[in-house]
């Protein structure tokens, strides 16, 4: 792995350091995030809800809020359909909860992955209408490209509202009300361009409250919309949207609300996931503990279970449901582990020298293929598509590596695919089984054509170089001011040169190891390396290490700990 470090002029770092009252290390991290002036830096370090823009500046949002106001005034029947991932689940829970506060009791439905497919499908609509036709149908986190389905609903005399953040593939939705900042991309829409659906639903709820408060609606004045930011943080962090601008404000404040949440369903989920609300809740808790359990029901069963958990005030029901989600997650992990092992054997026996991988088994569960594709692409540093069997088709997901745009690669293979779409680093595909071999050949050729002579070597960006004695609690306190880390605001990786291990690292669980070294001032620094037991650094020789620094909460103690990302032998002068 090639380390990359681009230094800033020392005078500029010192000037910003002095202006914001921060160490040179924090000033360098701010500059690396593109924050060069004291005004930009202070705004980033101290985000507040008061900085959120007027929700009515978002195209069509005022029209959507007025339609909700009409539904409330007329006590209409409403159906809410949300996607089955964390963003869809939290969006559905937030909107249903808000409408319940005003006396509506909307039915909600979540597509079943195996029965309905993705999003606003005709199958999901038919299930939603089994109990009767509503006056208003609301689609969340899907629907932007569902022209036929929206037209069908409207032909049934049903009004349609779509709140979504996915891009339009062809043309803008012609019927219904669409709130999606990616569709028009009008100048001035930048503040909310990267909001996920739960962020957009939050702004819709804000707009509704503004309308009703102008009418002196008593309920509108009683609602504290801030309390719903725990749901917004869950969806925003889990959906991997860039954590800057309004997303940073919502996620940072929302994680604090999440830490103090009184929502019984979230508290029950924390308990089974091993998340202690007495400690600082970080994006990693959402990404690796809470989010996967919410997602697991949608991957293997019915994500409506997760919505019910978010909405319920029944502690006994919440405990039981959280345990069900935990069981689904363990089942998902078992399936994922088995599929990953099979995929690795497939790569190493059949495709080891290929520039990219298309892997398929009729026994693979299509709800887990994206996770497996990510693991394979990271391990072998190759673009990877993993396909499972679904009725008449092979259906799956692709994950890429830096420097390879999967959208462009798949564009060269489109004639073999029934459907495909996504982003440069992550895509979804479906095709008939007979086309898999041809697709594999075309995919490999397209990867070579896109990459040129070779797939780019993996790189690691070093945010700043530290001396061992700088790794202290006060530095960690400064790093915490940059939270939350995630997409668009990566956790900094620090380089430390010439450290020497006096003792062989301690391997545990046959995959990981712990290590420690002296900082030169008689203080011992501790670290852990995940899944690196096969690459243990030498003892007694100077090495350079690349690490992340975080608090480790253990036995009611908060300890500073490094996470080893990579190491090299120190170059000889």
Please state the φ and ψ torsions of residue 199, each to the nearest 5 degrees.
-65, -40
Q: Tokens 């041809």, residue?
A: 438
Q: What is the CATH number assigned to the segment(s) 51-225?
A: 3.90.1640.30
Instruction: Give the DSSP letter of residue 242.
Output: -
CA distance 393 to 389: 6
Sheet holding 107-109, edge to edge: 107-109, 78-82, 136-140, 159-163, 177-179
CA distance 359 to 380: 13
CA distance 439 to 549: 43
Tally Cβ neighbours within 10 Å of residue 106: 20
Q: What is the CATH number assigned to the segment(s) 353-451?
A: 3.10.310.30
Burial class (CB in 10 A: 0-12, 13-18, 19+), 519: middle
CA distance 57 to 77: 28
What residues have CB less than 8 Å from 359, skipping those under 6 apart?
Answer: 343, 346, 347, 351, 376, 384, 385, 386, 387
CA distance 132 to 121: 18
CA distance 280 to 259: 7
Quote the pLDDT of residue 115: 81
- Spans of all domains in the chain: 7-45, 51-225, 353-451, 462-569
Half-sphere exposure (Cβ direction) of 571: Cα atoms closer than 13 Å? 1
The answer to whether 27 and 480 have CB atoms below 8 angstroms apart is no
Quote the pLDDT of residue 169: 66
Three-state DSSP state, 238: helix
**Beta-strand relationship, 524-529 and 512-518:** antiparallel
CA distance 215 to 220: 9
- Distances from the Cα of 307 to the Cαs of 31, 97, 197, 450, in angstroms? 41, 10, 15, 42
Q: Tokens 């990459």, residue?
A: 451
Quote the pLDDT of residue 166: 83
Report the 3 state secondary structure along 456-502: CCCEEECCEEECHHHCCHHHHHHHHCCCCCECCECCCCEEEEEEECC
Sheet holding 494-500, edge to edge: 464-466, 494-500, 542-554, 557-569, 524-529, 512-518, 506-508
Quote the pLDDT of residue 488: 87
**DSSP codes joined into one string, 51-103:** GSPPGGGSTTHHHHHHHHHHHHHTT--EEEEE-SSHHHHHHHHHHHHHHHHTT
For 215-278, where are the alpha helices, taking DSSP H only? 218-222, 229-238, 246-259, 264-273
The answer to whether 430 and 393 have CB atoms below 8 angstroms apart is yes
**CA-wise closest residue to 247 among 190, 309, 196:** 196
| 240 phi-psi bin (left φ>0, alpha ψ -120 to 50, beta other) | left
Structure tokens at 75: 């006590």
The CATH architecture one would assign to domain 462-569 is Beta Barrel (2.40)
Burial class (CB in 10 A: 0-12, 13-18, 19+), 510: exposed
The answer to whether 269 and 306 have CB atoms below 8 angstroms apart is no
**CA-wise closest residue to 109 among 130, 79, 69:** 79
The helix or strand, by DSSP H or E, that contains position 24, with its residue range, turns out to be helix 24-32
Mean pLDDT per 10-residue segment, the chain (573 residues): 95 96 97 95 95 94 98 98 94 98 96 82 94 97 92 97 85 91 71 89 98 97 96 94 93 96 96 92 93 87 91 97 95 93 96 94 89 94 93 89 90 90 83 95 94 84 97 94 92 97 96 96 95 95 97 84 97 79
CA distance 284 to 301: 25
98 preceded by a cis bond (ω within 30 of 0): no
| Total H helices, total E strands in the chain | 22, 19
């Amino acid at each position: 792995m090639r380390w990359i470090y681009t230094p800033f002029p020392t005078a500029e770092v010192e000037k910003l350091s002095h202006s914001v009252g921060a160490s040179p290390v924090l000033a360098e991290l701010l500059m690396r995030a593109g924050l060069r002036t004291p005004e930009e830096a202070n705004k980033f370090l101290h985000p507040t809800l008061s900085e959120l823009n007027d929700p009515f500046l978002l195209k069509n949002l005022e029209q959507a809020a007025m339609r909700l106001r009409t539904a409330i005034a007329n006590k209409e029947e409403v159906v809410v359909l949300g996607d089955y991932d964390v963003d869809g689940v939290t969006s559905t829970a937030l909107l249903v909860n808000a409408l319940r506060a005003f006396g509506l009791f909307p039915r909600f439905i979540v597509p079943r992955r195996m029965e309905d497919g993705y999003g606003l499908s005709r199958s999901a609509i038919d299930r939603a209408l089994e109990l009767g036709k509503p006056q208003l149908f609301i689609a969340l986190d899907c629907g932007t490209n569902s022209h036929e389905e929206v037209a069908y609903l409207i032909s049934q005399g049903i009004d349609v509202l779509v709140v979504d953040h996915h891009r339009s593939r062809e043309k803008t939705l012609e019927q219904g009300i669409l709130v999606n900042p990616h569709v028009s991309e009008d100048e001035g829409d930048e503040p909310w361009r990267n909001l996920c659906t739960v962020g957009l639903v939050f702004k819709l709820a804000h707009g509704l409250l503004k309308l009703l408060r102008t009418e002196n609606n008593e309920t509108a004045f009683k609602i504290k919309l801030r309390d719903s930011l725990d749901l917004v943080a869950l969806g925003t962090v889990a959906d991997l949207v860039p954590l800057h601008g309004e997303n940073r404000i919502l996620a940072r404040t929302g994680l604090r609300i999440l830490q103090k949440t009184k929502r019984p369903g979230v508290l029950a989920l924390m308990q089974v996931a091993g998340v202690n609300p007495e400690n600082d809740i970080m994006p990693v808790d959402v990404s690796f503990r809470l989010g996967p359990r919410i997602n697991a029901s949608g991957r293997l069963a019915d994500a409506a279970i997760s919505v019910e958990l978010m909405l319920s005030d029944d502690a006994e029901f919440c405990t039981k449901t959280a345990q069900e989600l935990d069981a689904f997650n363990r089942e998902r992990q078992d399936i994922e582990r088995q599929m990953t092992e099979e995929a690795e054997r497939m790569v190493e026996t059949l495709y080891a020298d290929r520039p990219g991988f298309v892997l398929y088994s009729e026994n693979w569960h299509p709800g887990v293929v994206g996770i497996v594709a990510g693991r394979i692409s990271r391990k072998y540093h190759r673009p990877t598509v993993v396909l499972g069997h679904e009725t008449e088709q092979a259906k799956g997901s692709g994950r890429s590596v830096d420097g390879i745009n999967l959208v462009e690669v798949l564009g060269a293979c489109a004639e073999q695919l029934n459907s495909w779409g996504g982003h440069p680093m992550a895509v979804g595909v479906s095709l008939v089984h007979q086309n898999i071999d041809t697709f594999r050949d075309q995919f490999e050729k397209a990867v070579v054509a896109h990459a040129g002579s070779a797939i780019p070597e993996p790189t690691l960006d070093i945010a700043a170089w530290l001396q061992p004695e700088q790794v202290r609690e006060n530095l960690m306190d400064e790093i915490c001011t940059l939270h939350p880390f995630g997409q668009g605001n990566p956790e900094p990786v620090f380089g430390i040169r010439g450290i020497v291990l006096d003792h062989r690292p301690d391997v545990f669980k046959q995959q990981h190891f712990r290590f420690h070294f002296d900082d030169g001032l008689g203080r011992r620094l501790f670290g852990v390396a995940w899944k690196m037991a096969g690459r243990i650094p030498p003892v007694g020789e100077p090495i350079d290490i690349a690490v992340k620094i975080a608090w480790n909460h253990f036995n009611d103690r908060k300890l500073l700990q490094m996470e080893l990302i990579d190491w090299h032998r120190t170059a000889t002068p």
